[in-house]
Structure 1
Amino acid sequence: MKILLYSMNFTPELVGIGKYSGEMAQWLHAKGHDVRVIASPPFFPHWAPFEGHSAWAYRKTVCDGITVWRAPTWVPARPRALARMAHLFSFMLSSMPLLFAQIRWRPDLVFVVEPPLFCAPTVLFFSRMLGIKSWLHIQDYEVDAAFGLGLVRGARVRRFALSVERWLLSRFSRVSTISAAMLDRAKDKGIDETRLVLLPNWVDVRSIYPHPAGASDTGEPVNAYRTMLGIPADAVVVLYAGSLGTKQGIELLADAARQLSTAGHIHFVLCGNGPSREALKTACANLDRVHFLDLQPAERLNELLGMADIHVLPQRADAADLVMPSKLGGMLASGKAVIVTAHEGTELSNVVAGRGLVVAPGDPDALSDAIARLAASRPQREAMGAAGRSFAETELDRNAILLRLEKELLRCLAD
């Protein structure tokens, strides 16, 4: 197959959409498919172009045998509502010439990743013009999320945006998304079930696996991160690792850490970058057992996740079932207990139930209580961690998911 991947985020971004788009392209290329990529300069989660990349110039590179075109994209230092929309729009405009430059190559299928949905009309026109297949993969329902999170307001604007979204989605050969609840939402938007594909974010269970968190049998620390941060081997580490953005409700972690500040054996480690990082550091300024780390290299991810006794994943209630946190797969694969903030019945709650604790979003008391309960019960933590690891092995394995994707791509071309 000749596949054109149209994804704003792409490797070398280590978290979020860029991580999955990069791994998918590399896997398909390794299986013998011809893959080309149109992307922006890497910028996430720092919201600044990576060193060696420019936000203002076109660039062509070859990465592990995959040709990647980078479209100049304005990257706001503070990605608020209007700035974020301008950011997405700038990529749409600058990437259009790169898309139409692929006419001579004539791919079999264009695989476009949302966000940004702004790129969908051009992809549909391009696909119809060449008589080829089009595939939309929804990582975030950005229209619903924009209104649900209060980034955009107005009943008339909402009705118009949703009607345009429905029209666009109905024109793609296939529409995929990352969770069962998000798939149901696509059905509610009028997408025929025969054109829907479940494509969850995966985890490499061979690279992420249970790793000792505390001390060895001799009492010596076995995790370099604990040693570096000065965390005792017998302490309970509560870890959040991921982007520090607006959808996470990340401020809840500072409240929980403050409430548990007298529990001398509980340490919080907050690892990541993003627009909420500085505010979070300010809120935790006087808390001795809260430690901050920048985003860590991919090759150290297993050791980082293995530092935890408890993973914590805050999520705002108004983002429920509009997004599915990609970091959850690594948490479960690490074999450690997980605490998430979600309402019962949401996809996030259903996945974590039995493999961790689910508490109400926006409730620091409930989160603090859940952390304290798990910190006091190592057997419960270990049982939940084992259940999470089993789920990751059976439901989230990267190779199994991408094999299913390959079959669906071939089926799409055959239709």
Structure 2
Amino acid sequence: MKLLIYGLNYAPELTGTGKYTAQMAEALAARGHEVRVVCAPPYYPAWRIAPGWSAWRYSRETREGVGVRRAPLWVPAHPRGATRVVHLASFALTSIAPMLAQWRWRPTVVMAIAPTLLCAPTALALARATGATAWLHVQDFEVDAAFELGLLKNGYAARLAHAFERAMLTRFDVASSISPRMVERLIALGVDRARALCLPNWVDVQTLHPMGRASRYREELAIGAGEKVVLYAGNMGAKQGLEFLVSAAARLVGRADIRFVFCGDGVLREALAAQCARLPNCSMMALQPAQRLNELLNLADVHVLPQRADAADLVMPSKLTGMMASGRAIVATACEGTQLHRMLRGRGLVVPPEDEVALARAIERLIGDERLRARLGAAARRYAVRELSPDAVIERLERRLVVGAEPARSAPEVEATQTAGPVGDVAASSRGVHLTQ
């Protein structure tokens, strides 16, 4: 199979969509498939081009058996509203040429990754021109999130953006997303249920695992033996609601046994650092190397996953999988009925979003109850091993990719080769090939 992946973010980015896109491409290449990627130079989550890369030059390389073509893009210093749209549009325009150059390669599957949906027309056009299966994988519902978070406010722009989103989603042969609720959102936007597929993000449960010793970060951060660590590690952006976590830390400033550690990068990092500088129970860390991720995650006695209420079910935080694999207790903010709330039921504590009082109380409860921390952490770890291991998820993805690339097979023949998975029974392919999951 020849798979062409088209997305904004890719390795060596360490967080978010780029991490999962790269892992997917590399895993499929290792299984013997020909995989190419068209993407941008690394810039996320710092919102600046990584050292050694250029924002304005086309380039190509091979990473772990994957041919990577990079197209220029403009990265705003302060991504807000219109500047974010221009940022996304810049890549959508500059990447047209390297995408069309793949016409001679004749891919069998063209997979576009959203964000950004602005790249969808080019992916769809190339797929139609080459007879390839057109696949759209949605990591974030960027249109909804942009308006809910106030990044875009104009009513006419909202109607135009939603019309474009619906037009793109309904034209792809397969539309997938990372949680059952997000798949339901695809269907609500007009995707035929027979074309919708749930493909959850995965986690390497061999690399990320509970350690039988204290994390070396405790010594590096001068954390006392009697202190418990509340860790936030990830992107520092608008949808995280980190201001409520800082407020919770301020409420617990009198607890000498609790240390809050914020690790990551993003557009709000400087503002967050300024707030934390005024709190003696808070420490800041830069984004850490990938090879130290397990050490970092095991620093936590309690992981915290804050999320704005208006981002619920529009995004599924990618950092959650690593938290669960680490076997440490988790407290998250989510509304009842959301996918995040369901996923953590019995595996963590969940409090209402944007409620620093409830968040502080949940943190205190976990810090004060070692048995509860151990029980919830073990339950989260078991779920990660059972449902989110990369072998299981990539194998399901591979089956669907191969089937989508073989439209000549009959539906009964295809159905006989599929097995039920843990996420639901959704089907995919406009060519009349029904897939079960």
Q: TM-score, normalised by structure 1?
A: 0.96
Q: Distance in 2 between matches of 1:160 and 1:305?
A: 42
Q: Distance in 1 between matches of 2:137 and 2:28?
A: 16
2:231 to 231, 235, 239: 239
SS at structure 1 position matched to 2:3: strand
1:356 and 2:348 equivalent? yes
Structure 2 gap ranges (5+): 408-437
Q: What are the within-5 Å matches in structure 2 for residues 396-411 of structure 1?
A: 396-411=388-403
SS at structure 1 position matched to 2:104: coil
Q: Distance in 2 between matches of 1:122 and 1:374?
A: 49
1:223 Cα deviation after fit: 1.8
Q: What are the within-5 Å matches in structure 2 for residues 115-126 of structure 1?
A: 115-126=115-126
Q: Distance in 2 between matches of 1:167 and 1:289?
A: 49
In structure 1, the partner of 2:5 is 5
Q: What are the within-5 Å matches in structure 2 for residues 118-267 of structure 1?
A: 118-212=118-212, 222-267=214-259
Moved more, 157-166 or 261-270: 157-166
1:373 and 2:368 equivalent? no
CA RMSD of aligned residues (A): 1.0
1:22 and 2:14 equivalent? no
- Paired positions, count: 407
SS at structure 1 position matched to 2:405: helix
SS at structure 2 position matched to 1:42: coil
Q: Distance in 2 between matches of 1:89 and 1:164?
A: 14
Q: Distance in 2 between matches of 1:92 and 1:148?
A: 23
In structure 1, the partner of 2:430 is none
SS at structure 1 position matched to 2:110: strand
1:345 and 2:337 equivalent? yes
In structure 2, the partner of 1:319 is 311
In structure 2, the partner of 1:78 is 78
SS at structure 1 position matched to 2:395: helix
1:193 Cα deviation after fit: 1.2
Q: Is the 8 A contact 2:30 2:65 kept in 1?
A: no
In structure 2, the partner of 1:219 is none
Structure 1 gap ranges (5+): 217-221
SS at structure 2 position matched to 1:125: helix
In structure 2, the partner of 1:291 is 283
Q: Is the 8 A contact 2:276 2:284 kept in 1?
A: no
Q: Distance in 2 between matches of 1:117 and 1:396?
A: 26
1:200 Cα deviation after fit: 0.7
- Encode CA deviations 1:125-182: one digit per residue, 9 max, x unaligned: 1111222111000000011111111111233332232122111111101001001110
In structure 1, the partner of 2:32 is 32
Q: Distance in 1 between matches of 2:179 and 2:329?
A: 21
1:289 Cα deviation after fit: 2.0
Amino acid at match of 1:109: V
In structure 1, the partner of 2:101 is 101
Q: TM-score, normalised by structure 2?
A: 0.92
Q: Distance in 1 between matches of 2:268 and 2:160?
A: 31
Q: Distance in 2 between matches of 1:366 and 1:380?
A: 17
1:233 Cα deviation after fit: 2.4
Amino acid at match of 1:48: R
SS at structure 2 position matched to 1:242: strand
Q: Distance in 1 between matches of 2:281 and 2:216?
A: 17
Amino acid at match of 1:226: R
- Between the aligned residues of both structures, percent identity stands at 50
In structure 1, the partner of 2:434 is none
Q: Is the 8 A contact 2:276 2:283 kept in 1?
A: no
1:286 Cα deviation after fit: 2.1
Q: Distance in 1 between matches of 2:62 and 2:237?
A: 31
Amino acid at match of 2:247: D
Q: Distance in 1 between matches of 2:221 and 2:70?
A: 38
In structure 1, the partner of 2:269 is 277
SS at structure 1 position matched to 2:235: coil
Amino acid at match of 1:99: M
Amino acid at match of 2:239: K
1:409 Cα deviation after fit: 0.5
- Encode CA deviations 1:363-389: one digit per residue, 9 max, x unaligned: 111110110111110000000000000
- Encode CA deviations 1:279-321: one digit per residue, 9 max, x unaligned: 1111121212211111111111011000100000000000000
Q: Is the 8 A contact 2:334 2:350 kept in 1?
A: yes
SS at structure 2 position matched to 1:51: coil
Amino acid at match of 2:277: A
In structure 2, the partner of 1:310 is 302
Q: Distance in 1 between matches of 2:215 and 2:241?
A: 29
SS at structure 2 position matched to 1:80: coil
